A and B are shown apart, each in its own frame.
Chain A
Amino acid sequence: MISYILRRLAATVPVLFTVAVMVFLMLRLTPGDPAAIIAGDNATTQQILDIRTKLGLEQPIVQQFFIWLGGLARGDLGESFFFRKTVFELISERIEPTLSLAFLTIVLAVVVAIPLGVLAAYKQGTWIDRIVMGFSVIGFSVPVFVIGYLLVYIFAIKLGWFPVQGYQRIGNGVGPWFRSLVLPAFTLSVIYVALIARMTRTSVLEVLSEDYIRTARAKGQTEMKVLFQHALKNAAVPIVTVVGIGVALLIGGVVVTESVYSIPGLGRLTVDAVLARDFPVIQAIILAFSFVYVMINLLVDLSYTIFDPRIRY
């Protein structure tokens, strides 16, 4: 087990290196010039050149890459081209809202989706099944921002139950924090609920045809317990996998949701940084997201051992 984790951790190094190279190259080849953006509207060509030199953008790309890599190795993510702040500082102040949003979204999605999926599987072919699956397909079909605007219009403007936008730090109290995140989490979780409910249904359906379900029934077990004790635990591995895969999906959704709800998280930072060509920030964020993704997949793989004793590393 330990050696497995070590091996997996070691394997993340080449993956992240690939990511680093690709991201770095992609950014340096983009047409945008951060120096021009920094210099502003009235800048002359010479001023822009000065700034480029100052930012180190005039060095050969390979050299820039190794300077950056060297910094990374020392744990130094560099400094934003724009803000008088280090990338580390920028990311760490943005991490709480994004984590909160992602956390609430996943909790909400799991709590809603899994019972729905189990129900649909149990009632396979009935109208309940069709409604649940119909909802899940619609969940895939409506763009996130449309859902966001609709929810804001109904629940914030018409009903006034939740704030229109903004984020309350958890330090200001759990109540306000939660209220500020209800609509964003709902918006973001729609596609997630759809995804997990479908996976749960499929996976439970498959398990329900297994012999040990028949065994459990032959013992006289009640249907509820057959579903939730025997079926769900066996169906857990693909469900957990899809939750893990969904993290990638979530990251995309976070960008849009944070824009709609003005949540000062990493998603917004990413868009801002990309639009401003703030290379050090973009590089660090993509690398961080990739790292999180890889780690979550490792956690997912490790969680298999909890759900399925046959899996040992």
Chain B
Amino acid sequence: MSAPILDIRNLTVELPKGADRRNAVENVSFAVYPGEIVCVVGESGSGKSVSSHAVMGLLPKGQLKATDGEIMLEGEDVLQATSSRLRALRGTRMSMIFQEPMTALNPVVTCGEQIDEVLQIHTSLGASERKEKVLAVMESVRLPDPAKLFDAYPHQLSGGQRQRIMIAQALVLDPVLLIADEPTTALDVTTQAQILKLIAEMQERRGTGVLFITHDFGVVAEIAHRVVVMQRGRVVETGTAMEVLKNPQHPYTKMLINAVPTLTPPVREERTGELALETVKLCKVYGGGGFFQKKREVRAASDVEIRVRRGETLGIVGESGSGKSTVARCIARLIQPTSGGIVVSNIDIANLPERQLRPHRKHCQIVFQDPYRSLNPRRSVGASIIEGPMNFGMSEAAAIAKSRDLMNLVGLSPDALDRYPHQFSGGQRQRICIARALAMEPEILIADEAVSALDVSVQAQVLDLLDDVRKTFDLAVLFITHDLRVAAQICDRIAVMQNGVVVEHGKTAEIFAAPQHEYTRALFEAAPGRNFQFARVA
């Protein structure tokens, strides 16, 4: 093999004083060779992003500082480079794309100009030459109608198009190294598949070395040539993709791979409990009724009909904007549906005014996506849990006793009831939220992307917990998710939504075995690593 483009040797980056550990990354070494995609995998806090930012010289000033080691880019140590030398290297020899293309692009500058800026900084080309080059690179990343998108602002583009602009901007000067920091995490699964394909294709065509940061083993399986696994600032394992995925050596790697849910749903028995929830032609329309002009109407949910029995988990699967969360929020009556019925315990709650609705609230509880915003930061978790029962007349002592039981049930110490949310980790908070929902003794539990924000190892634990409580309390669970793997693991039946409409629903196993609707098939096609059988190791 030829010389590496990027060779990181014994890199150590120091954290500011008062952090939970001394170094963000410690003694990290790995290399990227020409024409190779190296995936750095790890959960949050593993130091994978810090390493990549160190390469670009983009560590936040005054907070993180490389204290040891060297980062050789084509034989030149970027840690020793002056700031003007670094500026000259960025965009020409190495470039970077980021996780969230919406925020990574300047919202007030047109897309074309943002690509053009790279040429302005690093080349002496004239305006027309630059424009030509920009249009060419936009074409090459498969952007439709480059001439039109040149003058468009980022917000006018879709997420996938924005990421393509980012890639075009990174590749316009043919750098030898492309750093991709979780470039598909914020994208829908179908878009993710396209972007991954594009990166692989560009890399192949141009022979660029790619340093790809991700937390998703599906993505790794899809794209990586070699894999670097990081945990708490250290490299725990490196190897080719095949070696690491099929035959992981380090326990941490094993644990991560085991935690990846498979796309094969387990066999599930038929649920025959009584009907807990039924929606009838549920519709939610936003907008309309402008004063001077007719506003655009958005049908976020139209004619949605779902039924959930007790003891059953119904998954609603779809990409962003599919209307799955709207349905959940209608059922929880956080918003009022435009039309249709929601029958809970034989009562249609769709149009009850707040005062009459309140007695029925206890039947249906919800767990939200973001564990950091789901608990009132100013109240102890105990206070949050007992609030609901006390609203329904339970005495404080009884509510506290109950909350202690629930804490045990969700795997937390009852002594932690006096503590505040910021003292818990994300997974622990999600457990508390589940306890809070259970305190109401509901019949229906809605989990709205409840595990999406969690690291994969934690995700598995929370999923297990959800399944446990379903069994214990004979709950009807409505499970909203964008992740087919998760859905496969927990749902008895699933409903696939697109643009506010349920396009397909049925038993999980049947749908996974033979998806009928075109869109469902596209979703399956796009699932990263779908063809890859991960090692199941003990």
Direct contact of A and B (CB under 8 A): yes
Interface of A toward B, CB cutoff 8 Å: 3, 6-7, 125, 210-212, 214-222, 230, 233-234, 307-310
**B92-100, B376-384, B449-457: which one contacts chain A?**
B92-100
Write the nearest CB–CB distance from A221 to chain B, whole angstroms.
6
Contact with A215, one of B106, B153, B155 (Cβ below 8 angstroms): B106
Interface of B toward A, CB cutoff 8 Å: 56, 58, 62, 86-92, 95-96, 98, 100, 103-109, 117-118, 121-122, 153, 155, 166, 169, 291-293
Contact with B89, one of A220, A221, A222, A308 (Cβ below 8 angstroms): A220
Report whether A7 and B292 are in contact in the complex, using a CB–CB cutoff of 8 Å.
yes
Q: For B122, give the chain A residue with the smallest CB separation.
A: A220
Interface SS, A side: helix
Residues of B close to A230: CB separation below 8 A: 106, 109
Report whether B292 and A218 are in contact in the complex, using a CB–CB cutoff of 8 Å.
no
Report whether A211 and B169 are in contact in the complex, using a CB–CB cutoff of 8 Å.
no
The distance in angstroms between the C-alpha atoms of A214 and B90, with both chains bound, is 12
Contact with B107, one of A3, A216, A308 (Cβ below 8 angstroms): A308
Residues of B close to A307: CB separation below 8 A: 108
Write the nearest CB–CB distance from B413 to chain A, whole angstroms.
37
Report whether A212 and B104 are in contact in the complex, using a CB–CB cutoff of 8 Å.
yes
Report whether B87 and A309 are in contact in the complex, using a CB–CB cutoff of 8 Å.
no
Residues of A close to B104: CB separation below 8 A: 211-212, 214-215
Contact with A221, one of B87, B92, B292 (Cβ below 8 angstroms): B87
Contact with B291, one of A7, A219, A222, A233 (Cβ below 8 angstroms): A7
Report whether A221 and B58 are in contact in the complex, using a CB–CB cutoff of 8 Å.
no
Q: A219-B169, A234-B107, A307-B108 are in contact. Are A214 and B155 (CB under 8 A)?
A: no
Residues of B close to A6: CB separation below 8 A: 292
Residues of B close to A214: CB separation below 8 A: 58, 98, 104
Q: List 21 A-B contacts (CB under 8 A).
A: A7-B292, A211-B98, A211-B104, A212-B104, A214-B58, A215-B104, A215-B105, A215-B169, A217-B58, A219-B91, A219-B117, A219-B121, A219-B169, A220-B86, A220-B118, A220-B121, A221-B87, A221-B121, A222-B121, A308-B107, A309-B153
Report whether B87 and A310 are in contact in the complex, using a CB–CB cutoff of 8 Å.
no
Residues of A close to B87: CB separation below 8 A: 220-222
Report whether B293 and A3 are in contact in the complex, using a CB–CB cutoff of 8 Å.
yes
Write the nearest CB–CB distance from A263 to chain B, whole angstroms.
39
Residues of A close to B108: CB separation below 8 A: 233-234, 307-310
Contact with B118, one of A3, A212, A217, A219 (Cβ below 8 angstroms): A219
The distance in angstroms between the C-alpha atoms of A217 and B96, with both chains bound, is 10
Q: A219-B169, A220-B87 are in contact. Are A309 and B155 (CB under 8 A)?
A: yes
The distance in angstroms between the C-alpha atoms of A234 and B154, with both chains bound, is 14
Residues of B close to A125: CB separation below 8 A: 62
Report whether A219 and B293 are in contact in the complex, using a CB–CB cutoff of 8 Å.
no
The distance in angstroms between the C-alpha atoms of A215 and B166, with both chains bound, is 9
The distance in angstroms between the C-alpha atoms of A216 and B155, with both chains bound, is 18
Residues of B close to A222: CB separation below 8 A: 87, 121
Report whether B96 and A218 are in contact in the complex, using a CB–CB cutoff of 8 Å.
yes
Residues of A close to B106: CB separation below 8 A: 212, 215-216, 230, 234
Contact with B88, one of A7, A210, A215, A220 (Cβ below 8 angstroms): A220
The distance in angstroms between the C-alpha atoms of A114 and B87, with both chains bound, is 26
Q: For A221, give the chain B residue with the smallest CB separation.
A: B121
Report whether B90 and A219 are in contact in the complex, using a CB–CB cutoff of 8 Å.
yes
The distance in angstroms between the C-alpha atoms of A309 and B96, with both chains bound, is 25
Residues of B close to A216: CB separation below 8 A: 106, 117
The distance in angstroms between the C-alpha atoms of A212 and B153, with both chains bound, is 14
The distance in angstroms between the C-alpha atoms of A6 and B100, with both chains bound, is 37
Contact with A218, one of B90, B100, B155, B291 (Cβ below 8 angstroms): B90
The distance in angstroms between the C-alpha atoms of A309 and B152, with both chains bound, is 10
Write the nearest CB–CB distance from B156 to chain A, whole angstroms.
8
The distance in angstroms between the C-alpha atoms of A230 and B105, with both chains bound, is 10
Max chain B Cβ within 10 angstroms of own Cβ: one of A6, A7, A212: A212
The distance in angstroms between the C-alpha atoms of A185 and B523, with both chains bound, is 65
The distance in angstroms between the C-alpha atoms of A218 and B62, with both chains bound, is 18
Q: A219-B90, A234-B108 are in contact. Are A3 and B58 (CB under 8 A)?
A: no
Write the nearest CB–CB distance from B381 to chain A, whole angstroms.
30
Residues of A close to B86: CB separation below 8 A: 220
The distance in angstroms between the C-alpha atoms of A3 and B96, with both chains bound, is 43
14 additional A-B residue pairs with CB within 8 Å, beyond A7-B291, A218-B58: A210-B103, A212-B107, A214-B104, A215-B96, A215-B104, A216-B117, A218-B95, A219-B95, A219-B118, A220-B90, A221-B117, A222-B121, A230-B106, A310-B153
Q: Please give me the 7 A-B residue pairs with the lowest Cβ-Cβ distance, nearest first.
A: A220-B90, A211-B103, A212-B106, A220-B87, A220-B91, A309-B153, A211-B104
Residues of A close to B153: CB separation below 8 A: 309-310
Write the nearest CB–CB distance from A69 to chain B, whole angstroms.
25
The distance in angstroms between the C-alpha atoms of A16 and B29, with both chains bound, is 69
Q: For B169, give the chain A residue with the smallest CB separation.
A: A219
Q: For B87, give the chain A residue with the smallest CB separation.
A: A220
Write the nearest CB–CB distance from B53 to chain A, whole angstroms.
8
Residues of A close to B89: CB separation below 8 A: 220
Report whether B107 and A218 are in contact in the complex, using a CB–CB cutoff of 8 Å.
no
Q: For B92, give the chain A residue with the smallest CB separation.
A: A220
The distance in angstroms between the C-alpha atoms of A234 and B118, with both chains bound, is 19
Residues of B close to A234: CB separation below 8 A: 106-108
Residues of A close to B118: CB separation below 8 A: 219-220
Q: For B110, give the chain A residue with the smallest CB separation.
A: A309
Write the nearest CB–CB distance from A211 to chain B, whole angstroms.
4
Q: For A215, give the chain B residue with the smallest CB separation.
A: B104
The distance in angstroms between the C-alpha atoms of A148 and B88, with both chains bound, is 51
The distance in angstroms between the C-alpha atoms of A267 and B291, with both chains bound, is 39
The distance in angstroms between the C-alpha atoms of A184 and B293, with both chains bound, is 47
The distance in angstroms between the C-alpha atoms of A222 and B87, with both chains bound, is 7
Q: A3-B293, A219-B95 are in contact. Are A310 and B169 (CB under 8 A)?
A: no
Residues of B close to A7: CB separation below 8 A: 291-292
The distance in angstroms between the C-alpha atoms of A134 and B107, with both chains bound, is 33
Residues of A close to B105: CB separation below 8 A: 212, 215
The distance in angstroms between the C-alpha atoms of A262 and B345, with both chains bound, is 78
Write the nearest CB–CB distance from B161 to chain A, whole angstroms.
16
The distance in angstroms between the C-alpha atoms of A125 and B61, with both chains bound, is 12
The distance in angstroms between the C-alpha atoms of A296 and B90, with both chains bound, is 43
Write the nearest CB–CB distance from B204 to chain A, whole angstroms.
23
Write the nearest CB–CB distance from A26 to chain B, whole angstroms.
32
The distance in angstroms between the C-alpha atoms of A114 and B197, with both chains bound, is 45
Contact with B56, one of A3, A211, A218, A308 (Cβ below 8 angstroms): A218
Q: For A223, give the chain B residue with the smallest CB separation.
A: B83
The distance in angstroms between the C-alpha atoms of A214 and B181, with both chains bound, is 12
Residues of A close to B166: CB separation below 8 A: 215
Residues of A close to B291: CB separation below 8 A: 7
The distance in angstroms between the C-alpha atoms of A277 and B58, with both chains bound, is 65
Max chain B Cβ within 10 angstroms of own Cβ: one of A215, A216, A221, A234: A215
Write the nearest CB–CB distance from B111 to chain A, whole angstroms.
11
Write the nearest CB–CB distance from A14 to chain B, whole angstroms.
14
The distance in angstroms between the C-alpha atoms of A3 and B103, with both chains bound, is 30
The distance in angstroms between the C-alpha atoms of A220 and B166, with both chains bound, is 15
The distance in angstroms between the C-alpha atoms of A217 and B155, with both chains bound, is 21
Write the nearest CB–CB distance from B134 to chain A, whole angstroms.
13
Q: For B166, give the chain A residue with the smallest CB separation.
A: A215
Report whether A215 and B98 are in contact in the complex, using a CB–CB cutoff of 8 Å.
yes
Write the nearest CB–CB distance from B124 to chain A, whole angstroms.
14
The distance in angstroms between the C-alpha atoms of A211 and B109, with both chains bound, is 14
Residues of A close to B95: CB separation below 8 A: 218-219
Report whether B90 and A217 are in contact in the complex, using a CB–CB cutoff of 8 Å.
yes
Q: For B90, give the chain A residue with the smallest CB separation.
A: A220
The distance in angstroms between the C-alpha atoms of A33 and B92, with both chains bound, is 78
Residues of A close to B88: CB separation below 8 A: 220
The distance in angstroms between the C-alpha atoms of A211 and B99, with both chains bound, is 10
The distance in angstroms between the C-alpha atoms of A217 and B58, with both chains bound, is 8
Max chain B Cβ within 10 angstroms of own Cβ: one of A7, A210, A211, A220: A220
